[in-house]
Chain A
Amino acid sequence: MQMSAMATTRLELAESPNLEFMRTLSPSEKRTVRYATIGISVYLALFVGIKVFKFFAHQRADYLQMVTEARQLKLDTGLEADQAALIKKLMGDFHLDPATLSTNSTVADASAAIQKAAMGGGIGLGSIRESAGRSSARELATIQFDGSGQVAAVVSFLHQLPLLGYPLVIDSVQITADVMRPGQIKLNVTVIVLDFDQWKKVEVTHA
C-alpha cells in the first residue's frame, strides 16, 4: 500500500512540466561558462603559482641568509683561532693555566710559591700577612711580606713574582736601605691574588 503511494508521487513529479532540473545551455551561455572556467583557472594558476613562487623565494632568501651567517661564522672561526693562539701565548708568558686554578687553594699555593721563590732567590723573608681581597676588584686575597736581600736578588725576585704560575699582581713595593747590613736592601711587598672565578661569573652574566 505504502509502496504504491510512493510510486504514484514519483510519476507525478516526472510528468510535471514545471520541474526541469537542468535545461540545455545555449551556445553563448556555453561560451560564457567556458570563458569563466578559463578565467578562474588562470586566476587560480596565477594565485597558486605566485604562492608557490613566494614560498620558494622565501626558502631561497632564508638559505642565502644562512650562507651569509655561515661565512661570518667562518670568519669568526679564524678570529677564534687567533684568540686561542693569544691565550696560549699569555698562558705561556705567565706560566699560568686559569682553568687549573682552584679558589680554595690558590692563596695557600701562591703564598707557598712566593716563599719558595724568595728562599730560592736569596731573599730572607720576614713577616707575612694574608688578608681577604676586595671582591668588587675581583681580588681573592692580599699577601703582604717583608724581606731583605741583595739588590740583584730583589730585582730577580720582583721579576719572578708574576711568573710563579698564580694570578699575582704586585700592588706596592717599598725598598729601603738596610743600615744594619751593608750591601743589602729591605723589601716590603704587597701582592694581590686575583680571583678567576669572578671573571667567569661576569662572563656568564654577559652571556
Chain B
Amino acid sequence: MREFFNPPPVFIEIAPASLKALREEGGIELPLERAADGKLTAACREKTVAALQGFVGRKSWQLRVQAVCGISLHGVSLRKISLPAATGDELERVLRLQIENEFPLPPDDLAWGWREISLDAARLEAVVVAIRRETIEDYDGLLSAAGLAPEFTVAAFARNLLCPAPDGLQAVLEIGRNYCELALFERGVSVGLKILPLPGDLAGSVLKNAPAKTIYVSGTAAQNEVFEKLSAHADCRRLEIAAGAGSSAATLGLKKSVALEIPLLPLRSKPGPAKTKFNLPQLDFSEAESRRWLLRGAALLVLLLVFPFAEALLLKPLLARKLDTLTREKQEFVSLAEPEMQFLESLKQSQPPYLDALYVFSKAAPPGLHLDSLTMDQHGDIQVRATMQSADQVMDFRSKLIASGFFANITVEEQSPNQQKVSVRMTAQWKSAGLRPAVKIDPSPDEVGKSNVGGGANANVGDGNHPPGIGGIPQS
C-alpha cells in the first residue's frame, strides 16, 4: 500500500551524451543532444521527458517519484578547503565566503555541496564540490517535467560505493567511449576528480594523476590493454556490473546508497527549505503557487462542509435497504424464536419442585416414620399422612419443615393416637420460586461414607434403595 502511493525511486546517471535510468523493474538508456552552450536541445528535452514519463508510469494523483541522479564530472569542480571551526549559520556563512574565494563563481550561481574531512578545536577541513547552477537547474527542469523529484550528486561518488572497501585509499576509473572519469578517494571522501580525454595514453594519464595503489575500473568501454598496463603498476581491479538497460556503476552505486542509507555528497542549487511559520497576511496571492494552495484549501473546506450532506444523500438508500433487510430478518427471528422462548421458559417455570420437596421431607423425617401417603400438586399444595412414634416426633418433624424455609402454612390437620403410635395428617404449601431456598440434592460426605459401608438404609420411606441425597439421611 505504501508503494502504491509512494512509488520506488529511480536511479539516473546523466552523462554528456546519454541518460541511464534504473528502477526495480528494469531500466532505459536515452541519448542526449546538446546545443552549443551545452544545454539540452528542445527536441531532445521533449523526447526525454516523454520517454521518462513512460518509463516511470506515474499516475497524476501519485506523489512525484524520487529520482537519485549522478551527474558526470563535466563542469564539476572540487576544492579542499580549511575553515575556522564554527557551527550552524556561522559555518554556512564562512563556507560561502570560502567558496567565493575558491571558485570562479559566487555560491548563489553554483550548485554545491560539502563534506567534512577532519575537525579539531580550531580548524575544519572539508571538501566542496560545485557545478554551475544552471546545469543542475536544466536537469532539474527536465526531470521535474517527467514527474520526478530529483536530487543530485556526482556519479563518481556513487561508483565508489561499489568498491569492496569504499572507505580506503583508492581511485575509481570509469572508461567511456570518448572520455574517462577518474576520481580519487581517501577514507570515503573524494579528494580529486579528473576527466581524461580519449584517445590517448590513458594508462599513463591515470598513473600520473592517481597516486593510489588500488584502481577500480568500470565502464562499458573498459579496454583490456589499459587494464593490463595499469595492472603492471598498481592493484587494478574491475568493477563487475550486471548487463542491462540502465545498468551502470553509477546507477547501481546510487541504488546501493539508497538501499543501505549511505548518504552521498549532495549538489544543491537552492538553500534548504527554511522552517517558516504559516502567516496568512504575508501570503502573496499574486503568485500562482499561493493561489493554487488557496484553491486547494478552499476545495477542502467545501468538501468538509458538503461531505455530511453528500454522505447522507449517497448512503441513505443503501442504509435504508440494509435496514429493511435487517428489520425483516429480525421479525422473522422474533416470530420463530419468541414463541419457542416463551414456551420453553414457561415449561421450565411450570416444573414443580417435587423432588426438592421429597428431599426436604426425607431430611426432616424422624426415625421410624411410616409414610402412608404423600400428595403434591402443581400449585404447591401438599398433604401428608404418616404414622410416627410419638407426638414429640410430630412436633420435631413440623419444626424441621418450617426451619427448612421451603414450605409455608404447615398445618397439622389431624393428630390422633393409634395404638402406641401417632397418626398424623399434615398439609403444607411450598413457597413460590423466588422465596424458597435452592435445594442441592447431593449426598454429603458422611452419607457417601455410610452408603459405602452399607449403612445407607432408610428407616423413613421404603427400604433404603434410594438415590443419593434422597434417602438414608441421618437424623439429628
Residues of A whose CB lies within 8 Å of any CB of B are 56-57, 59-60, 62-64, 66-67, 69-70, 73, 76-77, 80, 83-84, 86-87, 90-91, 93-94, 96, 98-99, 150-152, 155-156, 158-159, 162, 167, 169-177, 182-185, 192, 194, 196, 199-200, 202-204, 207
Contacts and interface: CB of A to CB of B under 8 A. Distances in A.
The B interface, classified by DSSP as helix, strand, loop or mixed, is: helix
A174 B372 CA distance: 11
Interface in B330-368: 330-331, 333-348, 350-352, 354-355, 358
Given A151-B471, A203-B338, A70 B323 contact: yes
Interface in B306-345: 308-309, 311-313, 315-316, 319-320, 322-323, 326-327, 330-331, 333-345
B375 A174 contact: yes
A73 B371 contact: no
Contact of B470 (A70, A155, A202): A155
B465 interface: yes
Contact of B465 (A57, A66, A151): A151
Nearest to A169: B350
Interface of B: 308-309, 311-313, 315-316, 319-320, 322-323, 326-327, 330-331, 333-348, 350-352, 354-355, 358, 370-378, 458, 461-463, 465-467, 470-471
Contact of B339 (A96, A159, A199): A199
A90 B372 contact: no
A139 B271 CA distance: 94
Given A56-B313, A93-B348, 12 more contacts: A59-B309, A64-B312, A73-B326, A76-B330, A169-B351, A169-B352, A173-B374, A177-B373, A183-B463, A194-B347, A199-B339, A200-B339
Contact of A60 (B308, B327, B358, B470): B308
A162 B352 CA distance: 10
Given A73-B330, A174-B375, A185-B461, A155 B358 contact: yes
A185 B462 contact: yes
Residue from A67, A84, A169, A204 having most chain B Cβ neighbours under 10 A: A169
Nearest to B327: A73
Contacts of A64: 312
B341 A158 contact: no
B452 to A, nearest CB: 17
A83 B339 CA distance: 12
A70 B354 CA distance: 47
18 contacts: A56-B313, A57-B309, A59-B316, A60-B309, A60-B312, A86-B341, A90-B347, A94-B348, A99-B340, A152-B470, A155-B358, A155-B467, A158-B355, A169-B347, A175-B371, A203-B338, A207-B331, A207-B334
A158 B353 CA distance: 10
A194 B465 contact: no
B315 A194 contact: no
Contacts, number: 160
The A interface, classified by DSSP as helix, strand, loop or mixed, is: helix
Contacts of B352: 169-170
Given A63-B315, A158-B355, A151 B462 contact: yes
Given A60-B309, A172-B375, A152 B339 contact: no
B375 A184 contact: no
B312 A56 contact: yes
A129 B124 CA distance: 116
A70 B322 contact: yes
Contact of B466 (A83, A152, A207): A152
Contacts of A99: 336, 340
Nearest to B387: A177
A200 B343 CA distance: 9
Nearest to A138: B346
A184 B313 CA distance: 79
Nearest to B347: A167
Contact of A174 (B319, B334, B373, B470): B373
Given A98-B340, A158-B355, A199-B339, A66 B320 contact: yes
A177 B354 contact: no
A96 to B, nearest CB: 7
Given A182-B463, A185-B462, A194 B343 contact: yes
